Structure 1
Amino acid sequence: MTATLTSADGRDQRAARPSRRPRLARSLPRLLPAGAAALSGALLYLSFPPRPLWWLAVPAVAGLGWCLHGRSWKAGLGLGFVFGLAFLLPLLSWTGEDVGPLPWLALAVAESLFVAVTAAGVALVSRLPLWPLWASGVWIAGEGLRARFPFGGFPWGKLAFGQPEGLFLPLAALGGTPLLGFAVVLCGFALTGLGLLLAAGRRARDRAVWAVAALVAAPLAAGAAAAPLVGTGAEKGTAEIAVVQGNVPRMGLDFNAQRRAVLDNHVRETRRLAERVRAGKAPQPDLVLWPENSSDIDPYTNRDARAEIDQVAKEIKAPISVGAVTDPGRGGPRNRQILWDPETGPGAVYDKRHLQPFGEYMPYRGFFRHFSSDVDRAGSFVPGDKTAVFDMAGTKVGPVTCYEAAFDSTVRDQVRAGAQVLSVPSNNATFGRSEMTYQQLAMDRVRAVEHGRAVLVPVTSGVSAVIMPDGRIVQKTELFTADALVADVPRRSSLTPATRLGTAPELVLLAVAAGGLGWAAARAVRARRGGE
């Protein structure tokens, strides 16, 4: 039986209880921005490779702009965090491929905090005139911070890296990844502003409508105008370059226990290429590129490894860039590229300068061991301290090892040092069949346009590729398939505006961000004083 309470005048008290439905109805408008932020973050993820949906980045940013417009910085912080998680959790899922979900979740949460702070800044400037301009500067400032801090930064997920096939791509040759990302985010935020103005329907805002509409069109027009400036022609002749993918015995971290098999695979595939050349089925390469970790056995100290590489270099009749793990006895092992001449053996070297934290080295190892014993699986590599360009049969090749391709300055340094083509030797076997290799390949395509260089991508297990200076992939391999690509690529020596300007475009956009935040802060101070 259910007891019924009655008042002194006999009325049923159940009627006096507050209904849950109105309370839920009041909560829905509060949940809507969070849901929209999550949807926008998911759209941004879908805009990244391997999906050719680059254009989704614009509505994704527009959706975030709608969530943040006119809100407090605290609300922006929370909505930005939701957006960041929805974007970065799926984007970075490859980081947990072999070490479990904890590192993946920790990284995604940490990077989402940077997105949250950036979104708080966007919310602060969203009440300013022409706010999409200031907000776009704030976004690029946030990406710049995330690319440098902590532990050297983590640029993965920069908007520019989702645009290897987009209309904005030519802008990379003018201002690098900061300008390319700025164009995408400006178009998105300006689309939000245009929609808000049109929804207001006030004649007094006609001029503002046209001004914001111009902000939408400007990045698209700039990208179209910059397209003819992307140089692709040979300036120092061409080079016949072979890219070898030897494959690994099996996926995952266990492949390191089979280091000899990995070396044997790359020797075998290069030998097959030499046989095809002798049979007239493939052109004679001027040089050969092997991937990162193609010889995890130190060829300086292991006679068998050295003999194998020596022999196959003579068979292919071309110098080979060999990715090796070496220990020169000066503090720790090096992730090294070795220029191996068929006549004189090992020569010039390039030691990877930007190492991957929590992978190639472990910062604060003792502290993080309290949370997981997996920290001891991280390496103890020592970074290199200088650029190096290999002269390979007259072609100047600039190695940029794997993770380094994500960092603007590392790639730019190699081009400024004289590289006529770029090589991005990588080892993606650890990450299985995840999207990681496609995301990295997209970075390489952006770098090709940014610096006007052909980019050769030798990978242990795929996807290896030949990328032309306009970002087009002209040859590629399949995942976990032994193969060798041979392509005639242009050697280029001129420097794009992006290469010449270096960090200048980013500093200009940082000044835009500082100007917007300063203006918003000044207005807030004046409003507070006026209310006193």
Structure 2
Amino acid sequence: MTVTATSVGQPDRLEPPTAPASRGARLLRRLLPPAAAALSGVLLYASFPPRTLWWLALPAFAVFGWVLRGRSWKAALGLGYLFGLGFLLPLLVWTGVEVGPGPWIALVVIEAVFVALVGAGVAAVSKLPAWPVWAAALWIAGEAARARVPFRGFPWGKIAFGQADGVFLPLAALGGTPVLGFAVVLSGFGLYEIVRLVLERRRTGEVRRSAAAVALLSVAVPFAAAAAARPLVSDKAEDGTATVAVIQGNVPRLGLEFNAQRRAVLDYHARETERLAADVKAGRTAKPDFVLWPENSSDIDPYVNADAAAVIDKAAKAIGAPISVGGVVERGGKLYNEQILWDPVKGPTQTYDKRQVQPFGEYLPLRSFIGAVNENWTSMVRQDFSRGSKPGVFDMDGAKVGLATCYEAAFDWAVRDTVTHGAQIISVPSNNATFDRSEMTYQQLAMSRIRAVEHSRTVTVPVTSGVSAIIMPDGKITQKTGMFVPDYLVQKVPLRSSETPATRLGILPEIALVLVAAGGLGWAIGTRVRARRGATL
């Protein structure tokens, strides 16, 4: 205690001059890491479409590395959760556009748990040699888990899906989304390590050469690998070309209510196809070899309703080319989200039933529990869709067209096996009308761009209400529509049959990175256990 003299006539008083500043500094030190964790998550979100700020992912992970390095696993768990909330809350806000904030918040709360666990793992390996490698592998292991559980997974928000405009994009052709994402995260953690070592050198005048080499290589190697992988990206035709037409018919009005107007949606797509046919006849555009309609373009079952079949058949005959129609059909009391190949002469021939159906959108897990919480949520999915079992590859006028319906584009396996089953071009028919003008459609479009490079295939994206697009095998969008307007796109595109390393390797790069993560985590835990045993001797 310090007693100081005061002016005459006033009593002495206690005055610890450093206490307020000390309390303020302690409070700042306590609040800074959680604030930085949440804000770096927001920074990562800002790197995703529709923005083209892919490079923001690097400083986001650099700050995340600073926040986690040297923390206890308990502290890192909380900081990782805040990072996950900062990233996923704005990224997935579209999930609550029509149904309110409840499902959106619930989804983010669950998905952020995976990020929290990764955060704890990163903190554990952060004192190991070459820690950015182990830490980046742990992030990919977390993504691998999110893509599989719960409810068959939710891979939305993979780091690779924010890199469609970035310099690392060619790595998708080398090892798919796991290798692309690993390169980005490794560069971010490596960037932090470089800054940390520079500051350490200024403070102490020395730094370990091995640590400096690892930090520099963590940034340099991903950039060099991306440059080396560029020859894998090509839009050269290998099996000739095909002229493809993508139809966007639009919907009667925004929101979920459009499902009550299923006939209008079908009529709109038929009308736009007939407009295309008129333009072909007038010589204003090239005649397509085949036509692609979006998911849910005929929610009226054409096998049961003769009027719906007549509308589709008339459109197919008008354009004189096969049409892939997105329908909702019922067989044996089960609903299927189905693509139907409709020939202008033979009518319906081949079909593809969507295999990765969307939880809470196309089927409702835990229906009784959810109904007890809010009965309005169960009305969103009155009857569950059943899953298909076979990959979809249509033979359309001699071209092999692989199908990955909407949500399936987020899953590595669902796109890859269309290519391994012979697809020369990929189509991602989608229906985003229920998500209004949110960022969802741009996020999904970026996924399709990644898939184009990953498998070196043209990717078409026919969407009911936009944005529909044609994407070259190098990931570039050559044509696209606006949102909530009727339109069509016609273009000659390359047909390709060669397989990229990513296509051939499949899941192996992801397995390798998960093993690296497990090895680093095991090393860190073993080191800590030995240190504790040594301390007790």
TM-score, length of structure 2 as denominator length: 0.95
CA distance in 2, matches of 1:475, 1:272: 18
Equivalences for residues 266-285 of structure 1 within 5 A: 266-285=269-288
Say if 2:450 is the partner of 1:446.
yes
Match for residue 519 of structure 2? 515
* Deviation per residue, 1:279-308 (Å, 9 max, x gap): 000100000000000000000000100001
Aligned mates of 2:55, 2:48 — CA distance in 1: 10
CA contact (8 A) 2:48 2:54 kept: yes
SS in structure 1 of the partner of residue 532 of structure 2: helix
Change (3 A) 1:280 1:372: same
Matches of 1:364 and 1:29 in 2, distance apart?
A: 43
Offset, 1:22: 3.6
Q: Secondary structure at the match of 2:170?
A: helix
1:4 corresponding residue in structure 2: none
Determine the C-alpha separation between the residues in 2 that align with 1:150 and 1:326: 27
- Give the distance between the partners of 2:111 and 2:100, measured in 1 at CA: 18
Q: Does 1:67 align with 2:70?
A: no
In structure 2, how many angstroms separate the alpha carbons of the residues matched to 1:204 and 1:339?
65
What does residue 155 of structure 2 align with? 155
TM-score using structure 1 length: 0.96
Identical amino acids, percent of aligned pairs:
64
- Three-state SS of the structure 1 residue aligned to 2:350 is strand
| Greater mean deviation of Cα atoms: 193-202 or 299-308 | 193-202
Select 2:336's aligned residue among 307, 329, 334: 334
- Whole-angstrom CA distance in 2 between matches of 1:48 and 1:271: 37
| Separation in structure 2 between the aligned mates of residue 257 and residue 231 of structure 1, nearest angstrom | 44
Separation of aligned partners in 2, 1:69 and 1:119: 10
User: 1:192 maps to what in 2?
Assistant: 192
- Tell me which residue corresponds to 1:435: 439
Moved more, 19-28 or 271-280: 19-28
Letter paired with 2:211:
A
1: CA distance, partners of 2:103 / 2:163: 27
How far does residue 375 in structure 1 lie from its aligned partner after superposition? 2.3
- Counterparts in 2 of 1:126-275, with a 5 A limit? 126-201=126-201, 202-275=205-278
The reply on whether 1:307 has 2:318 as its aligned counterpart is no
Task: Name the counterpart of 1:469.
Answer: 473
Deviation at 1:203, TM superposition (A): 2.6
Q: Is 1:395 aligned to residue 421 of structure 2?
A: no
Q: Secondary structure at the match of 2:527?
A: helix
CA positional deviation for 1:371 = 1.4
Q: Alpha-carbon deviation of 1:15?
A: 5.8
**Match in the other structure for 2:5:** none
Gaps of 5+ in 1: 1-9
Which of 412, 422, 427 lines up with 1:423 in the alignment? 427
Shift of 1:388: 2.2
Instruction: Pick the aligned partner of 1:321 from 324, 337, 357.
Output: 324
Secondary structure of the corresponding residue to residue 327 of structure 1: strand
Query: What's the secondary structure of 2:331's corresponding residue?
Result: coil
- 1:210 shift after superposition: 2.5
Structure 1 Cα separation of the partners of residues 11 and 80 of structure 2? 49
Once the two structures are superposed, what CA deviation does each residue of 1:208-234 show, in whole Å capped at 9, x if it has no partner?
212311111110111011112212211
2:150 counterpart SS class: coil
Q: d(CA) in 2 for partners of 1:92 and 1:317?
A: 41
Matched positions, count: 522
Partner residue of 2:505? 501
Deviation at 1:12, TM superposition (A): 6.7
User: 1:163-189, CA deviations, whole angstroms, 9 ceiling, x for partnerless residues?
Assistant: 001000000001000000000000000
Aligned residue in 2 for 1:7: none
Distance in 1, Cα, partners of 2:411 & 2:378:
24
Q: How far does the alpha carbon of each residue in 1:379-435 deviate from its partner, in whole angstroms, 9 at most, with x for none? A: 410010111210000010011000000000111111111100000000000000000
Tell me the distance in 1 between the aligned counterparts of 2:128 and 2:148: 29
Distance 2:63 2:207 in 1: 25
Q: Distance in 1 between matches of 2:235 and 2:502?
A: 15
Residue 298 of structure 1 aligns with which residue?
301
The Cα shift of 1:19 comes to 6.0
Structure 1 residue 154, shift from structure 2 partner: 0.4
- Whether the 8 Å contact between 2:163 and 2:169 is mirrored in structure 1 is yes
Name the residue aligned to 2:414.
410
SS of 1:455's partner is strand
Alignment-mate amino acid for residue 147 of structure 2:
A
Q: Which amino acid aligns with 1:360?
A: E
Question: What secondary structure is seen at the aligned counterpart in 2 of 1:203?
Answer: coil
Provide the C-alpha distance between the structure 2 equivalents of 1:280 and 1:206, rounded to a whole number of angstroms: 68
Q: In the aligned structure 1, how far is the partner of 2:137 from the partner of 2:114?
A: 15
**SS of structure 1 residue aligned to 2:459:** strand
Q: Secondary structure at the match of 1:240?
A: strand
1:9-88 aligned within 5 A: 22-88=22-88
Runs of 4+ in 1 over 2 A off after TM superposition: 10-25
Q: 1:305 to 1:511 in 2, by over 3 A?
A: same
Could you tell me which amino acid in structure 2 is paired with residue 315 of structure 1? A
- Structure 1 residue 196: Cα displacement: 1.1
Shift of 1:452: 0.5
CA distance 1:17–1:208, change in 2 (3 Å): closer
**SS where residue 383 of structure 1 aligns?**
coil
Q: How many Å separate the matches in 1 of 2:232 and 2:355? A: 31
Distance 1:185 1:44 in 2: 11
Does residue 386 in structure 1 map to residue 390 in structure 2?
Answer: yes
Distance 1:458 1:255 in 2: 18
Matches within 5 A, 1:472-483: 472-483=476-487
- How far residue 50 of structure 1 moved from its aligned partner, in angstroms, is 0.3
